[in-house]
Chains A and B, each alone.
Chain A
Amino acid sequence: MDEALDEALVKDHKPAWKGGDQPYEASYGKLMMWFFLITDTLTFSAFLAAYGFSRFKYPEVWPVPEDVFTHFPFLQGEHPLLFVALMTFILIMSSVTMVLAVNYGHKMEKNKVILWLSLTIVGGCLFLGSQAWEWGHFIHGDRGGIETKNEYVVHVAEGEKLSSVYELMDIDKYSDDSSLKYFGLEDLTSEMQEGFDQQNINTLIEQLKVKPSFNIRKANKQFLTNEESIKYLNKNATKVIVGANLYENEYGHRLFADYFYFITGFHGFHVFSGVVLLIVILINVIKGTYERRGHYEMVEKVGLYWHFVDLVWVFVFTFFYLV
């Protein structure tokens, strides 16, 4: 099977760098894929470096990822980092199935290639679905936040433990219309009257007076007592934020949500295009294109792209969720 590959790479045995044909002994397609991966590495490094720069410009008030990403599908309660760990596991598994597909491709075992390539596609789709769920939950919001005059976001706490705006206002967080109930709205069109923000703040402060066990955690992670919280909110609070968009988010600094959407979105776009490429190659494998060609190098090249996607996720996972 390697003879067919050798024939595909015409070998000229002059010394490398003296005009010999194949100093790398790799095909044009593989070299070009590596070249593209290097450029993509630099792109993602630039994004992550920019994130590092912004994040360390606001070290005290930047959200703590273990406080933000505590959700898990179908489960209530707080499970910090567990869902992200699951997503990492899914992607690593899909990388493993990809290597197995490439391995069986070298041995020209078409059926095994189809099996493992299909499993890789399933893993990729699972990851995309998980990321979509994560985005949806991020946009919907978890605890709610209160914006203050210098554009910091503070959070509701109970003693030294983070609580949520919903707990303070006695609303069930997991009900479907929890945001509407919080704001006392009939539906999504009945908002944005004059003084809407101030009214929400007033309601919240009144509730704080009635429930002395609740207090505020400031943006710099310092907890205030109940009385200090009431004074602080009266002086500084501007509005209650629930959920997240590109302009404001309930977790902290505006840039946090911006970077989250951009970096995970850019990575998710790579995963999506990877899945599309995998499907195209799978169709070709089923049709027998590579059997006729005599080698499964295309599977290997797509595998390189897929491993790159996994590699980027490993770095995004570290720098966004752990550091």
Chain B
Amino acid sequence: MGAEKKGNWWIWRVFWILLFVTAFEVVLGILKVNEKLPEFLVYDTFLGLAWLTHIFIILTIFKAAYIVMTFMHLGDEKVTLKWTILLPAFILVPYLLFILLNEAVYTYLKI
């Protein structure tokens, strides 16, 4: 996709990927509210979140990767620029999330 960028075919390919993944997520959401999903997806948790939530997050990161790498052309930039932008995001955001959501249990304690 990156090397021979003649024409616009690769743009439309990413569009269809994004569209189908989004449609899949919406269908999952609708099935969840109509209670037509297997129970373990909605009620069993892993690291505090339901399995269905993990699926949503993974699909969202998948979409985000496609948008950043192809639409924003980050995959075509020099490798140094690519990692200068991605590494701080990959380190800082999960780190802050981890601290915030883990330490937040103190709000349940009564002093």
Contact = CB atoms under 8 A, between A and B. Distances in A.
Q: Do most interface residues of chain B lie in helix, strand or loop, or is the interface mixed?
A: helix
Nearest to A64: B33
B33 A66 contact: yes
A92 B26 contact: no
Given A24-B77, A38-B88, A81-B29, A95 B22 contact: no
B81 A24 contact: yes
Contact of A81 (B14, B30, B48): B30
Contacts of A38: 85, 88-89
A85 B18 CA distance: 12
Interface in A291-320: 300, 303-304, 307-308, 310-311, 314-315, 318
Contacts of A16: 80
A155 to B, nearest CB: 14
A49 B94 CA distance: 10
Interface in B28-61: 28-30, 32-33, 48, 53, 56-57, 59-60
Interface residues of A, number: 52
A318 B22 CA distance: 10
Nearest to B107: A57
A315 to B, nearest CB: 6
Interface in B58-111: 59-60, 63-64, 67-68, 70-73, 77-78, 80-81, 84-85, 88-89, 92-93, 96-97, 100-101, 104, 107
Interface residues of B, number: 46
A99 B73 CA distance: 9
B33 A96 contact: no
Given A42-B92, A45-B97, A85-B23, A99 B71 contact: yes
A85 B22 CA distance: 8
B15 A80 contact: no
Contacts of B11: 96, 99-100, 103
Interface of B: 8, 11-12, 14-15, 18-19, 22-23, 25-26, 28-30, 32-33, 48, 53, 56-57, 59-60, 63-64, 67-68, 70-73, 77-78, 80-81, 84-85, 88-89, 92-93, 96-97, 100-101, 104, 107
Given A49-B97, A50-B100, A89-B22, 13 more contacts: A24-B78, A24-B80, A38-B88, A53-B100, A66-B30, A80-B30, A81-B30, A89-B19, A103-B11, A307-B72, A311-B67, A318-B57, A318-B60
25 contacts: A34-B85, A49-B97, A50-B100, A52-B101, A66-B33, A80-B30, A82-B26, A88-B22, A92-B15, A92-B22, A95-B67, A96-B71, A99-B71, A100-B8, A102-B73, A303-B71, A303-B72, A307-B71, A307-B72, A310-B67, A314-B64, A315-B60, A318-B59, A318-B60, A322-B29
